[in-house]
Amino acid sequence: MRAENARPGTTAWRIDTAHQASETELAGYTSTASVLPGESFGLHLSSALGAVTVRAYRLGHYAGTGAREIWSSRAVPATRQPAPAEDALHTVRCAWPETLRIDTSGWPEGSYLLRLEAGGRARYVPIVVRSRTTAGRLVIVSAVTCHQAYNQWGGYSLYKGPDRSFATRASAVSFDRPYDKNGAPLVLTHEQGPIFVAEGLHRPDLDLAYVTSWDLHRDPGLLAGARGLVSPGHDEYWTVPMRRHVEAARDAGTNLAFLGANALYWRARLSPDGRLLTCYKDASLDPQHSSPETTVQWRQSPHPDPENSLTGMLYEAFPAEADLVVHDPGFFLLAGTGAKKGERYAGLVATEIDRAYPVAGTPANLQVVAHSPVPQFQKPDTHSDMTYYTAPSGAGVFAVGTMAWAAGLRGAHARPRIDERAATFARTVTANLLHAMAEGPMGRAHPARANLEGIGAPSRTATGTGGPVARA
């Protein structure tokens, strides 16, 4: 990506609050979550502001601007579309006609934001131009399953309904609708930072590939020969095929990095066409209540398979707000940071956090790199951990255990307490990580050194809000 990022970028991709269109003024969705370079996709638009101009921006580094304009349309006639349909599961689906067919010939692989512009206002629509091969490359995942789970457009997400209660939530959500807020809230919060850092590392050994969680789900061979896979800041909803394909890649030597927290928490299902995500969050409500694909937490019955066997840790708590505290300053990915034991980095532990537990599934050689005290409201204080383990294949698995890490990668003040020192620390560690992953299985040169026993971690998850772990 060195040649691509040497091209001139622009800050014109950004939408300030004053010019952000509301969800009823302007919105759009794509006919697919990802396309191969040269393929086309449909864009479905609704506009109460008249004709729409579409500009495609590829996220990257681009001398700090963050994106490059790849393509733009003419002013396309568009009208306000009727209210979407809603079914018995509270699934909101739009049946808007295709407004524009977009050809991606000449578009580089990557994560894109389509900027819709009408009447002086704008919104985003995300799309990924996925890589034809991941062999020998670092794979950056766009967690579209998580994006859709939280999407409240049309009144329903997997979390709440129009009355904002969990009881009225949807049990299945459709990709045939726009995203809420600015149109790409989770891409910007959790994915833009890792992309910015990865594409800004001008090294010949760092060749990036781009996919979505839908692509991980549907293609068992997608990660064949990949050097590493990078999961972004919030990657919460995994299907059984997603997990099995990533586990197989790790067991074949592909390094893994979890640059957030709360990954792999809910087991979900995708429809064959990838346009419907189902998660009842209650086995008694799920028609497949006894199936290995029952849509409950991965740690819950009837088929518990907690996330720690893949990520190294368990989801611990929300909300969180604390400093990151270094536990093992000799860890190889901390090179160049100057960190000492007990060193604190402001604001890098926040929102949701993970914690290492000496329980079934936790890798025996788990190495705790940071162990950060976290105060909680009306619960005992807990910790957020940063961890590393190595698999028999030699693959290394690194997890930061905090959602604020992605904010640190965006830079100082991306969250209120993250200062320049903390942002530099996060970027340095991530740069070290990406280069180490690109060199091959990290465990061959840097085997994990077990130290979980030394931090006195409890064997029960009662300190957190993630819930108990069921026994298989």
Alpha carbon distance 385, 322 (integer Å):
12
Q: How do 53-59 and 110-118 pair as beta strands? A: antiparallel
Residue 2 is predicted with a pLDDT of 77
pLDDT at residue 337, rounded to an integer = 98
Q: Model confidence at 38, in pLDDT bands (50, 70, 90)?
A: very high
Q: Which DSSP helix (H) or strand (E) runs through 61?
A: none
pLDDT computed for residue 201 by the predictor: 87
Please tell me the distance from the alpha carbon of residue 282 to that of residue 262, in angstroms, as a whole number. 18
Report the mean per-residue pLDDT for the chain: 96
Residues in Cβ contact with 198 at an 8 Å cutoff, skipping those fewer than 6 apart: 1, 138, 140, 206, 208, 230, 430, 434
Q: How far apart are CA 92 and CA 53, in angstroms?
A: 26
Q: What pLDDT score does 472 carry?
A: 76
- Distance separating the N- and C-terminal Cα atoms of the chain: 44
Nearest partner of 213 among 222, 226, 224, 200, judged by Cα:
222
| CA-to-CA dists, residue 7 to 63, 65, 69, 124, angstroms | 9, 11, 10, 23
DSSP assignment of 278-330: E--SSTTT-TTTTSTT-SSBTTSTTS---THHHHSSEEEEEEEEEEEEBS-TT
The secondary structure of residue 166, as a DSSP letter, is: G
pLDDT at 404 over 80: yes
* Closest C-alpha among 426, 321, 315 to residue 373: 321
Kindly report, residue by residue over 135-169, the tens digit of the pLDDT.
999 999 999 999 999 999 999 999 999 999 999 99
DSSP SS3 for 110: strand
| pLDDT tens by residue, 112-143 | 999 999 999 999 999 999 999 999 999 999 99
Of residues 265, 266, 262, 456, the one with CA closest to residue 357: 456
pLDDT at 73: 98
The CATH code that applies to domain 228-455 is 3.40.50
For the cut 90, the answer to whether the pLDDT of residue 1 exceeds it is no
Q: What is the mean pLDDT of residues 213-224?
A: 98
Q: Is the pLDDT of residue 85 over 90?
A: no
pLDDT score of 403? 98
Question: For 259-312, what is each residue's pLDDT tens digit?
Answer: 999 999 999 999 999 999 999 999 999 999 999 999 999 999 999 999 999 999
- pLDDT number for residue 415: 94
Give the contacts of 19 (CB within 8 A, at least 6 positions apart): 120, 121, 122
Best CA proximity match to 1, nearest among 52, 68, 55: 68
pTM summary value: 0.97
What are the extents of the domains in the chain?
A: 2-218, 228-455
Mean per-residue pLDDT for 50-74? 97
| Average pLDDT for 23-38 | 98
2-218 against 228-455: fold identical: no
pLDDT score of 345: 98
Q: Name the DSSP class of 402.
A: B
pLDDT at 203 over 80: no
Cβ(211)–Cβ(131) below 8 Å: yes
pLDDT surpasses 90 at 409 = yes
456 Cβ contact list (under 8 Å, min separation 6): none
Position 377 scores a pLDDT of 85
CATH fold group of domain 2-218: Immunoglobulin-like (2.60.40)
CB 398 within 8 A of CB 327: no
Separation of alpha carbons 401 and 383, rounded Å: 10
> H-helix or E-strand containing 272?
none
Q: Residue 202 — pLDDT band, cuts 50, 70, 90?
A: confident
Asked if the model's pLDDT at residue 463 lies above 90, the reply is no
| Cβ atoms of 310 and 250 closer than 8 Å | yes
Percent of the chain with pLDDT over 90: 94
pLDDT at 257 over 80: yes
**Rounded distance between C-alpha atoms, residue 99 and residue 80, angstroms:** 12
User: Any idea what the Cα angle at residue 117 is, between residues 68 and 14, rounded to 5°?
Assistant: 40
pLDDT at 423: 98
Secondary structure class of 443 (helix, strand, coil): helix
pLDDT at position 100 is 97
Question: Where residue 347 falls among pLDDT bands split at 50, 70, 90?
Answer: very high
Q: Is the pLDDT of residue 447 over 80?
A: yes
